[in-house]
Structure 1
């Protein structure tokens, strides 16, 4: 990764960290300890997910998620890692490719002027297979059931848009 890109990523990461700390500081200065604890717990859960992501040994995928909001400005990302597999290095680039494919489809189905909450979940289907699941919360767009790419499933679940793909780990 080029030095300028590293600095840009660190700048973005620091900006997010400062936002969290400023909110906590604001609640602390108002004496709202219940809100301070709530925000601290939320931030600690975020850092725990980040630890699980980094421990998967998928640097390209980790960077994709860590810089996601700077690439997709109308999405606010949360992610959850529910995999016991601690070495997905062989499928690192494939994970990024599948993420790009899913985001391409999601962006075609969403309004670029609207702000969306996107949840990404990576979990085990079996010992050698993982699932990537993208959920766009409260996406009111209608979708066609036609899927030209059989590897990626796109469907509605209530008001949410879901996009999933399985990846074989070998």
Structure 2
């Protein structure tokens, strides 16, 4: 079950994130590292735009889970990007949230905890479908379990249509689509 954040907790986490970003900018400015400074500012702007986009999709449970995922100590860092024009995905909120919660929970148990593990999620919104692209980079300890789960999870839901998947010990890619 997902923890519900109260307003003060959300503000505390958000303030902490922004202070970290500002300290990073100040550090690059102080050391004259203009390339890293520009890259950091560009990343902050992109992250803020993606956060605004995910909030405009009318999928509050999914958006909350994605935005707050990295606020807790995790064995995986999640990054996300939203492509396409924002629209209402309200009818997909529950199935999307349950699927990604299950996936990341299982993935956390399948990775080597002393390695850097990253998941990049790209959500592409088209006229009739929403595509999800998951790219994992890190180190899996249970590749076979992950492969079994990927196949079975797409069979468990009539809304999720698995398009492709690839899985090796240090990288995995999954693509699935959902009708809007």
CA contact (8 A) 1:98 1:165 kept: no
Aligned to 1:150: 154
Structure 1 residues 109 and 165, CA, compared in 2 at 3 Å: closer, same or farther? farther
CA contact (8 A) 2:132 2:177 kept: yes
CA contact (8 A) 2:50 2:82 kept: yes
Distance in 2 (CA, whole Å) between partners of 1:42 and 1:107 is: 25
Report whether the alignment pairs 1:58 with 2:62. Answer: no
Structure 1 residues 128 and 3, CA, compared in 2 at 3 Å: closer, same or farther? closer
Aligned to 2:44: 43
Map of 1:150-169 to 2, 5 A cutoff?
A: 150-151=154-155, 155-156=166-167, 159-169=170-180
CA contact (8 A) 2:75 2:108 kept: no
RMSD between superposed Cα atoms in Å: 2.7
User: Shift of the alpha carbon at 1:4?
Assistant: 5.6
TM (norm. structure 1) is 0.81
Q: Which runs of 5+ in 2 are unaligned?
A: 156-161
Q: Deviations over 1:83-142 (max 9, x none)?
A: 334111121122111111221332342134543111111113x52321223222133546
Q: Deviations over 1:14-65 (max 9, x none)?
A: 1111111101011112233332222111211111211211221221111111
Q: What number of residue pairs does the alignment pair up?
A: 167
Distance in 1 (CA, whole Å) between partners of 2:104 and 2:26 is: 35
